[in-house]
Structure 1
Amino acid sequence: MSETETRQDSRPRRALVSIRNLSKSFPGVRALDNCQFELLPGEVHALMGENGAGKSTLMKVLSGVYQKDEGEILIDGQPVEIPDPRSAQALGIGIVHQELNLMNHLSAAQNIFIGREPRRGIFIDERALNRKAAGIFERMHLKLDPRTPVAQLTVAKQQMVEIAKALSFDSRVLIMDEPTAALNNVEIDDLFRIIRQLQSNGVGIVYISHKMDELKQIAGRITIMRDGQYVGTVPAESTPMETIISMMVGRQLDTSPRRPVQRANGELALEVKGLTRGSVIRDVSFTLRKGEVLGLAGLMGAGRTEVARAVFGADPVERGEIRVHGKKVSIRSTQDAVRQGIGYLSEDRKQFGLATGMDVKTNVALASMSRFASLGMFLDDSAIQRTADQYVGQLRIKTPSVHQQVRLLSGGNQQKIVIAKWLLRDCDILFFDEPTRGIDIGAKTEIYKLIDALAADGKAIVMISSELPEILRMSHRVLIMCEGRITGELAAGEATQEKIMQLATQREPVVTE
């Protein structure tokens, strides 16, 4: 690993952070094994690896959440101990987690300095508080009123507040974990502008992401981890994507775009006509056939998730008609939808798809508990375990056993458990909402194969995704939405990213009198 060079600057510089021969174990698990990492001033250094590779554990050691078992950490060339997060902050190390940790009822400034507010006597000095926050925003070249309640901010702006909070500790090292997971392209550009501004001020940034195209834009170097071990560090600009993927997974993956062959006109599985709910869903109509993957594309706020939730009975609608296998049905609740053979894999799997504190077998059986009940009240636990074991094998879910708590598994394996839950329920119609968000390239490939297999088995699938290459790779047809309306439909053979984006930004003309 080079001690001194990055793409941004080839002059020798002392490393801000050096991690050497670091190891960390948990009961029964060697999470980190002889790892190394280096961060230079003003560098964006990407950290990549499959889920469970050890990226987050390594950064939690650096930020004081975990304590190392072996090895050393050097800051500015000097060995340090980081026993807790407060010690990390004192050393100038800040972290922006993937899940934002803000209080919505407080202002941006109050969130940044919570517990450290400037005071006049016993009272908080709100004017000084807002002035200090405004100073940080000015350093970030960010136009944001520090008095604005966080609840009124977009996800992108909330992320900027998290960054500002980290910088309020005079952070020289900023760890960013999947910072663009919930951002659209415009918001990502804004985040990158902030990152480049921080770079110019000498802040070193550790950037954890699964999005290859982003890393090529923003990172100078990429360090790859696999199975808790350091694999290597490569220059981002000149290293082929295939090489990086091979280093991550230890094998070659087929990442070439796949154009699905248009399915023959199979039986109609789902018909939606005139679905409407205020300005969120506006007269939406579409059809879905057995064996088809229907892509649903659009920018954030276009109404894609809202349509899925309405069909699934999670949200009420004002009007509209739904037919399942040609029969008009009334879906007023999620239970109604499940009875009609409709399953929904939420984009927020942890909140809506899983009981993460429970074990694998319970989660697999969650939507089908009645079939395991005897005498109306006793559950056949051995039958649940046999069924869960079957799906763990079928979907290649990586878990020590079906008794493992779901929260301890990687994102890709959690997603497979949600899929297993709906497969056990034998749903004919499946809505996949952002099925690969936050999971690595290897797990993505497995999810893609699984969706293909389900379609080949005659399942009818709607796939919502913000990643256009994913939509193009998987869909037989693509529906595009903008501001609650369907603005176009493209067959697989004619769909391109440019055409999709054109339709995704096709706002309804404003009528003036």
Structure 2
Amino acid sequence: MQSITKTFPGVKALDDVNLVVREAEIHAICGENGAGKSTLMKVLSGVYPYGSYTGEIIYQGERVRFGDIRASEHAGIAIIHQELALVPGMSITENIFLGNEPRRRGAIDWKYARRRALELMRQVGLDEDPDTLIKDIGVGKQQLVEIAKAFAKDVRLLILDEPTAALNEDDSRHLLDLLRGFRDRGITLIMISHKLNEIEAVADTITIIRDGRTIESLDVKGDEVNEDRIVRGMVGRELSSRFPDHTPEIGEVFFEVRDWTVRHPTAEDRLVCKGSEFHVRRGEIVGFAGLMGAGRTELAMSLFGRSYGRYVSGRVFKDGEEIQVKTVADAIGHGMAYVSEDRKSIGLNLLDDIKTSTVAAKLKKITKRGVIDRVREHGVADDYRKSLRIKTPTVDEGVVKLSGGNQQKVVLAKWMFTDPDLLILDEPTRGIDVGAKYEIYGIIHRLVDQGKGVIVISSELPELIGLCDRIYTVFEGTITGEVARSDADPELLMKQMTAMKKSPTS
């Protein structure tokens, strides 16, 4: 890719970007959210057609000018976006061949499609019945379906945008092994990822993009590449620590949960929360650690206005008095806020602009006699844009145009606007870069310095250990232990995350 420049109204997303990828290599692209990584890959794959950008693409020795994504697929290029493009109510076979159905005598040949789907599934290590519906398999397996779908189109260059962002450690490891196997078979791979340890382990070459420009390309074996070197290129400065310095000032217990028990929303005999008990002090960051499916999100959502599952028993106390949180409005009214792990479908309405999203959770703060004060709405949103460093020229932009990290900041702004006493953050840094993570950690510190309490649910143990003052561990809906920051290490946490028996508290 030579001198690629791409402009959107009010912003230059790519500015003279150059990229050289060798055949049969894994080429990683790194950069902060909003650096232009996904935009560059959309140019390459024809999502942004020739004519909507300047510059040239040379593919297998020839200049190519893709008019749409079908043209790039015909050339052997396939892209798998961070938000998987699968239809939940259709089978694996139907999804693999969606828009590319094999035909015989004018009709879809489902017998051949099913047989071919099985072959493709074997190639990607997916052991499922091809008639299984997408909604009935996990995210890790859905990712494999997307790869099988690309292979059905005879892919020679596979682009993966944040392929492991939503995967647990086992699924991530399996996928990375799979990518190595594809490379060994002569397939070229371009991978966008914020997980620097994975990039370092699997990539042959790393290209760093910052503010829409190419900074450098590194040969992983020859350039003594490590995480600090990558971070320096991404953010343009040294990050001596992944976490800002912070001295907590922890006060008294102000939020307490006792005997919280909740059933699964459809499976009557399954408890997703089993007698959970925990507390939060003012000025304290409390972590929740657990393997995928442990029940951390279920606990958080059920507490936040019973927005998940079927309540069985339990009491919630704030400042020593029992409170009722039967609805989301109740929870917000009692000073609770919940930032979902799924910012795309739960945290934000992607049809809204930034200013509308920012004030959505507490409209009465900017309403006079039932009418929204548009001047105040714009002013509030712009203040958060500046204080949270949301990269956008104006708060009138649609949130759908923002990068993942900047969308996450809008979700944070939305709930900070409600002025909560307790902020629950579910996977707050999933899929965002190291620089944006650092900024979000700083925001969390500012909140607790105001005497608020923050709960952080995270699948990254180093994040919990580096950020939280105390950590609870969860296994199969049960809180199995409580660890002080001074005692926390990955081995101890993992032991308590995989044990049913409740451990003594620290």
TM more than 0.5: yes
- The amino acid across from 1:361 in the alignment is K
Question: Are 1:186 and 2:170 matched, yes or no?
Answer: yes
Write the letter of the residue equivalent to 2:128. L
**Post-superposition shift, 1:205?**
0.7
Separation in structure 2 between the aligned mates of residue 453 and residue 29 of structure 1, nearest angstrom: 30
Provide closer, same or farther for how the CA distance between residues 254 and 137 of structure 1 changes in structure 2, counting only shifts above 3 A: same
In structure 1, the partner of 2:491 is 498
Residue number in structure 1 paired with 2:26: 44
SS at match of 1:317: strand
- Distance change in 2, residues 1:438/1:342 (3 Å): same
Which stretches in structure 2 are left out of the alignment for 5+ residues?
A: 264-270
Residue in 2 that maps onto 1:204: 188
Residue among 363, 374, 397 paired with 2:368: 374
Map of 1:10 onto structure 2: none
Q: CA-to-partner distance for each residue in 1:273-316, whole Å, 9 max, x for gaps?
A: 11111321111110111000000111111111111111111124
**Which residue does 1:136 correspond to in 2?**
120
- Aligned amino acid, residue 370 of structure 1: K
The answer to whether residue 349 in structure 2 is matched with residue 363 in structure 1 is no
2:243·2:438 contact (CA, 8 Å) conserved in 1? no
* Cα distance in 1 for residues equivalent to 2:29 and 2:425: 28
CA deviations 1:351-380 (Å, max 9, x no partner) are: 2222332222222211221122222x2221
Provide the rounded CA distance (Å) in 1 between the counterparts of 2:248 and 2:46: 52
Alignment correspondent of 2:416: 423
Partners of 2:388 and 2:21 in 1: how far apart? Answer: 38
Supply the distance in 2 between the matched residues of 1:420 and 1:220 (Cα, whole angstroms): 38
Contact 2:253 2:280 in 1 (8 A): yes
Residue 324 (structure 2) pairs with residue 330 (structure 1): yes
Per-residue deviation, 1:137: 2.1
Give the counterpart of 1:149 among 113, 130, 133. Answer: 133
Identity of aligned residues (%): 43
Q: Residue 175 of structure 1 aligns with which residue?
A: 159
> Residue 453 of structure 1: SS of its match in structure 2?
helix
Query: Are residues 1:290 and 2:276 paired?
Result: no
Is the CA contact (8 Å cut-off) linking 2:5 and 2:55 kept in structure 1?
yes
**Corresponding residue SS for 2:390:** coil
Q: Given residue 36 of structure 1, which amino acid in structure 2 is its aligned partner?
A: N
- Equivalent residues of 2:249, 2:449 under 8 A apart: no
Q: Distance in 2 between matches of 1:406 and 1:89?
A: 29
Distance 2:440 2:233 in 1: 20
Secondary structure at the aligned position of 1:252 is classed as: coil
The one-letter code matched in structure 1 to 2:333 is R
Matched, 1:445 2:438: yes
**Conservation of the 8 A alpha-carbon contact between 1:397 and 1:417:** yes
Q: In the comparison of the two structures, how many residue pairs are matched?
A: 489
- 1:29/1:389 CA distance change after superposition, 3 Å: closer
Closer, same or farther in 2 for the Cα pair 1:405/1:115, shift >3 Å? Answer: closer
Is the 8 Å Cα contact of residues 365 and 388 (structure 1) preserved in structure 2?
yes
> How big is the shift at 1:61?
0.8
**Aligned residue type for 1:317:** Y
What does 1:400-479 align with in structure 2 at a 5 Å threshold? Answer: 400-479=393-472
When residues 359 and 115 of structure 1 are mapped into structure 2, their CA distance, relative to the original with a 3 A threshold, is: closer
Residue of structure 1 in register with 2:300 after alignment = 308
User: Would you say the 8 A contact 2:480–2:501 is kept in 1?
Assistant: no
| Cα distance between partner residues in 1 of 2:498 and 2:23 | 39
Question: 1:140, CA displacement in angstroms?
Answer: 2.9
SS at match of 2:114: helix
Distance apart, 1:111 and its partner CA: 0.8
Name which of 281, 295, 312 aligns with 1:318. Answer: 312
| Matches of 1:374 and 1:47, distance apart in 2 | 48
Q: Distance in 1 between matches of 2:423 and 2:243?
A: 23
| TM-aligned CA deviation for residue 262 of structure 1 | 6.6
- Classify 1:258/1:421 alpha carbon distance in 2 versus 1 (closer, same or farther; 3 Å): closer
Q: Paired residue for 2:233, among 216, 222, 247?
A: 247
Distance change >3 Å, CA 72–CA 402, structure 1 → 2? closer
Letter matched to residue 356 of structure 1:
L
1:474-489 residue pairs with structure 2 within 5 A?
A: 474-489=467-482
Asked if the contact 2:259–2:276 (Cα under 8 Å) also holds between the matched residues in 1, the reply is yes
Distance, in Å, in 2 between the alignment partners of 1:147 and 1:406 is 36
Residue 117 (structure 1) aligned with residue 110 (structure 2): no
Q: TM-score, normalised by structure 2?
A: 0.93
Partner residue in 2 for 1:81: 65
**TM-score in terms of structure 1 length:** 0.91
2:38 corresponds in structure 1 to 56
Preserved CA contact (<8 Å) 1:260 1:474: no
In the alignment, is the contact (CA less than 8 A) between 1:258 and 1:472 conserved in 2? no
Q: Distance in 2 between matches of 1:256 and 1:155?
A: 28
Mapped contact 2:248–2:283 kept (Cα < 8 A): no
- Residue 263 (structure 1) shift: 5.0
How far apart, CA to CA, are the structure 2 residues paired with 1:508 and 1:153? 29
The equivalent of 1:269 in structure 2 is 254
**Residues in 2 aligned to 1:101 and 1:333: alpha-carbon distance in whole angstroms:** 33
Q: CA RMSD in A?
A: 1.8
Unaligned runs of 5+ in 1: 1-18
**3-state DSSP class of the match of 1:103?**
coil
| Counterparts of 2:143 and 2:14, CA distance in 1 | 29
Contact 2:258–2:314 under 8 Å retained in 1: yes
Q: In structure 1, what is the Cα distance between the partners aligned to 2:139 and 2:127? A: 15
SS in 2 for 1:231: strand
What per-residue deviation string (whole Å, max 9, x for no partner) do you get for residues 411-445 of structure 1? 22222222222222111001011111111111110
Q: Provide the rounded CA distance (Å) in 2 between the counterparts of 1:177 and 1:319.
A: 42
Q: Contact conserved, 1:346 with 1:434, CA < 8 A, in 2?
A: yes
Deviations 1:13-71 (A, max 9, x none): xxxxxx12222222332221221112223211100111111111110011000135322
TM-superposition CA deviations, 1:68-114 (whole Å, max 9, x none): 53222112112111111011001100111111111122221111112
Is the Cα–Cα contact under 8 Å of residues 261 and 476 in structure 1 kept in the other structure?
A: no
Corresponding letter in the other structure for 1:252: E
Q: Distance in 2 between matches of 1:345 and 1:226?
A: 28
How many Å separate the matches in 2 of 1:385 and 1:118? 52
For 1:75, the aligned partner's letter is Y
